[in-house]
Structure 1
Amino acid sequence: MAEIQLKNIHKRWGSFVGVENFDLTIADQEFLVLLGPSGCGKTTTMRMIAGLEDPTEGDILVDGKRINDLEPKDRDCAMVFQSYALYPNLDVYENIRFPLRMRKVPSSEHKERVMRASAMVELDDFLHRKPAELSGGQRQRVALARAIVRQPNVFLMDEPLSNLDAKLRVSTRAQIKNLSHELKVTTIYVTHDQIEAMTLADRVVVMSAGVVQQVGSPTEIYDNPANTFVASFIGSPAMNLLEGTIEGGTFTGKDVTITGLDSTHSGPITLGYRAEDAAIGGDAPSVNAPVYSMELLGDATMVTFRIGGTIATVKADKEFRAAIGETVAATIPAATCHLFDATTGERL
C-alpha cells in the first residue's frame, strides 16, 4: 500500500525555481504520469520523491508518514532510469538479483524472485548474457525486472523509453501497461511524450516551467485542456490554435469564419480545434485557404493550411489529394471548438 502526498512542494536553486507549489495526492496503485517539455520540473519532482533531491519547502508523505528526512534506500522506491544503469560485468541474472543482495534478502528466495521477474518481462532466454550482448529494448527490460524483483511500494520511471526506436517503444509501452495491471503498485512515470502519457496514465500532470498546468485523466485533459499550453502539448497532432476576434458567437480570423459558437465573449480570442474534428469541404465552409502541405498517414491524409501566419491541420479521408498552393475549403464545427483568453491563454 502506498498513497503519496506532495504538500506544497517547492524546489529552488538560488533564484531559479525548479518546482513551484506542487500539491497533489497520488492514490495507492495509481499510474501517474508527469508530462511536460524538458526543464519543466517533472524529473526534479520524481527525484524529490526518491530522496535524491531535498525539497526547499513542503512535505512528502507516504501513507501519512513524512519521509523528507529518510535516506533514499529507506523509502522503498524502485527507480527505472532512461540510461538503464546496468552493471556491465554482471550477467542479466545477477543484474536482476543485485537489489536482493543489497537488501539482505535471504538467498533461498533469490532464484524464485529473479525467475518470476524475468518471466514477467520475457528475459528467460537471456539470463546468462552480459548487457553488452543485449539490444536496447532487452536492456530496458532488465532494468524493469531489477525494479520488479524488489517488490517495492512505489515504482519511479524516468523516461524509460526515450532511448528506444519507434517500434520498440510501442511494444515496451504495452509491456509496462500490462505490468502495471499485474503488479498493482503505485507508479510515477516521467515523460515528454504525450502519446506515452495518454496510453499509460490513470491521471496525467501537465507541467510547464515548474508549475502544474492541469491534472486529470487523459480523456479530461484531451477533451477539456485548461489553457493553450496544455492544448498545444496534448494530442498528435496538437490542437490547432487560431488567433482572431469573436462577436455575437462568430469567430473571425484571416481566411477563417466560424459561426454558432456558444459564447457571449467579445473581442480578441484564441480558438482551438482538433484536426480530427474538422472536415474538408462542407456547405458553409469555415476555412478557405491554400494547402501548405499534405501528409499521407495510411488511414487518413493530414492537410495543413497556413492561416494568418499559423499552421493549422485538418484530417481528411485517406483518398483525398490536393496540390500544394491549391485553395481548399474546410469546415470546423462550432460545437467542437475550444475558446481561450487571448492574453492569459486560460480556457473560457
Structure 2
Amino acid sequence: MAEIQLRNIGKRWGSFVGVDNFDLTIADKEFLVLLGPSGCGKTTTMRMIAGLEDATEGDILVDGQRVNDMEPKDRDVAMVFQSYALYPNLNVYENIRFPLRVRGVDPSTHDEKVRRASAMVELDDFLHRKPAELSGGQRQRVALARAIVRQPNVFLMDEPLSNLDAKLRVSTRAQIKNLSHELAVTTIYVTHDQIEAMTLADRVVIMKRGVVQQVGTPVDIYDRPANAFVASFIGNPAMNLVEGEISGGTFRAKHVEISGLNVPDGTITLGFRAEDANVAESGGQINAPIYTMELLGDATMVSVRIGGALVSVKADKNYRAEIDETVSISVAPEQCHLFDATTGARVGS
C-alpha cells in the first residue's frame, strides 16, 4: 500500500516560488498525472516526493509516515527519467539488475527478477546488448524495467516519452498503461503532453506557475474546465476561446451572436470545442471567412479568425470549400463554456 499525502507543500528559491501550497492525497494504486507547461512546477513537485528536492514548507506523507527528512534511497520509490540514465558500459541485463545489487537483494533471486521485468517490457531478445546498440524506445523500456525490478511502493516518471518520435510515443504509452494495470503500483507521471495525461491518468493535476489549477478525472477536466487556462490546455485542438460581450443572455463578438446564455451582462470569454460545433449552409451563430482547412482523415478541420482568436470546427471529411469563402457555424448554447474575462474563472454551470 502506498497512499501519498502532500500537505500544503511548497518550494521557494529566494523570492521565486516554484510550487505554492500543493495539497492533495494520492490514493493507493492511483495513476496520477502532473500536467502543465514548462516551468509550472510539476517536476519540482515530483522531485520533492522523491527526496531529490527539499520542500520549503508543508509535509509529505507516505502511508501516514512523514518522509520530508528521509533520504531518497529510504523512500521506496523508483524513478524513470526523461534521459533514460542508463550505464553505457553495462548490457541491458546488468542495467536492469543494478538496483538489486545496490540494495543488497539476495543474488539468488536476481535472475528471476530481471527476466520477469524484461519480459514485461518485451526486452528478452536484447539482454546482451549495450545501450548504444538500442533505439530510443528500447532504452526507455530498459529504464522502465530497471524501475519495475525493484518492486517499489511508488513509481515516479518524469516525461519518459518526450525523447521518442510520435509512433514510438504511442506504442510506449500503451505499454505504460498496460504495465500500470498489471503492476497496480501508485504512479506519479509528469508530462507537458495533454494526450499522455488524458490517456494514462486516473486523475490529472493541471499546474500553472507553481499553482494547481484543477484536479479531476480526464473526463471531468475535459467536460468542465475550471478556468480558461485549463480549457486552452486540454483538448486537441484546444477549446476555442472568444472574447466578447453578453447582454440579455446573448453573446456578441465580431462574426458571432449566440443566444440562450443565462449569465449576467458584461465582458466575458466564451469557449466551445471543435467537435461541439457544426458547419451549416446558413443560419449559424458564427459567420466568418475561412482562414484555413486541414484534412485529418476522419474529418476536415475548418478554421476561421474571430478577432485575435483562431476558431476551429470539425466538419465532415468530405467537406470542401475555398479559403476566404464565408462559412456558417452552428454551436448550441448548452455546448458553450463561459469564463470571467479578467480572472479566467469558470462562470455559471
Q: Same fold (TM over 0.5)?
A: yes
2:181 alignment counterpart: 181
CA distance in 2 between partners of 1:184 and 1:176 (Å): 12
2:298 alignment counterpart: 299
1:291/1:323 contact within 8 Å kept = yes
Classify the secondary structure of the residue corresponding to 2:242: strand
Is 1:317 aligned with 2:316? yes
1:40 alignment counterpart: 40
CA distance in 2 between partners of 1:45 and 1:309 (Å): 35
Classify the secondary structure of the residue corresponding to 2:5: strand
Unaligned runs of 5+ in 2: none
- Amino acid in structure 2 at the alignment position of 1:57: E
2:6/2:58 contact within 8 Å kept = yes
- Alignment root-mean-square deviation, CA: 0.7
- Amino acid in structure 1 at the alignment position of 2:274: A
Q: Displacement of 1:224 after TM fit?
A: 0.2
2:110 alignment counterpart: 110
1:125 alignment counterpart: 125
CA distance in 1 between partners of 2:269 and 2:281 (Å): 23
Which moved further from structure 2: 316-325 or 197-206? 316-325
Q: Deviations over 1:214-234 (max 9, x none)?
A: 000000000000000000000
CA distance in 1 between partners of 2:46 and 2:62 (Å): 14
1:52 alignment counterpart: 52
Is 1:336 aligned with 2:309? no
Alignment of 1:177-256 (within 5 A): 177-256=177-256
CA distance in 1 between partners of 2:161 and 2:318 (Å): 34
Q: Displacement of 1:282 after TM fit?
A: 5.6
Q: Displacement of 1:284 after TM fit?
A: 2.8
CA distance in 1 between partners of 2:247 and 2:178 (Å): 49
Q: Deviations over 1:157-208 (max 9, x none)?
A: 0000000000000000000000000000000000000000000000000000
Classify the secondary structure of the residue corresponding to 1:43: helix
Is 1:274 aligned with 2:273? yes
- Amino acid in structure 2 at the alignment position of 1:116: R
Is 1:29 aligned with 2:19? no
| TM score, norm. by length of structure 1 | 0.99
Q: Deviations over 1:250-292 (max 9, x none)?
A: 111010111112x131111100000000000165301110111
2:282/2:328 contact within 8 Å kept = no
2:281/2:327 contact within 8 Å kept = no
1:12 alignment counterpart: 12
2:80 alignment counterpart: 80
Q: Displacement of 1:321 after TM fit?
A: 1.3
- Amino acid in structure 2 at the alignment position of 1:145: A
1:282/1:331 contact within 8 Å kept = no
CA distance in 2 between partners of 1:346 and 1:328 (Å): 31
CA distance in 1 between partners of 2:153 and 2:231 (Å): 34
Q: Deviations over 1:1-23 (max 9, x none)?
A: 10000001010000000000000
Q: Displacement of 1:325 after TM fit?
A: 1.0
CA distance in 2 between partners of 1:170 and 1:345 (Å): 33
2:225/2:346 contact within 8 Å kept = yes
- Amino acid in structure 2 at the alignment position of 1:183: L
CA distance in 1 between partners of 2:158 and 2:293 (Å): 35
CA distance in 2 between partners of 1:236 and 1:25 (Å): 29
Classify the secondary structure of the residue corresponding to 2:10: strand
| TM score, norm. by length of structure 2 | 0.99
CA distance in 1 between partners of 2:58 and 2:308 (Å): 44
Unaligned runs of 5+ in 1: none
Which moved further from structure 2: 284-293 or 88-97? 284-293
Alignment of 1:152-171 (within 5 A): 152-171=152-171
CA distance in 2 between partners of 1:30 and 1:175 (Å): 17
Q: Displacement of 1:242 after TM fit?
A: 0.4
CA distance in 2 between partners of 1:109 and 1:248 (Å): 73
2:19/2:44 contact within 8 Å kept = yes
CA distance in 2 between partners of 1:231 and 1:117 (Å): 39
2:286/2:329 contact within 8 Å kept = yes
Query: Identity of counterpart residues, as a percentage?
Result: 79
Classify the secondary structure of the residue corresponding to 1:320: coil
- Amino acid in structure 2 at the alignment position of 1:163: N
1:295/1:301 contact within 8 Å kept = yes
Structure 1 residue runs of 4+, over 6 Å off? none
**Residue-pair matches, total:** 347
Which moved further from structure 2: 194-203 or 317-326? 317-326
CA distance in 1 between partners of 2:87 and 2:294 (Å): 44
1:289/1:328 contact within 8 Å kept = yes
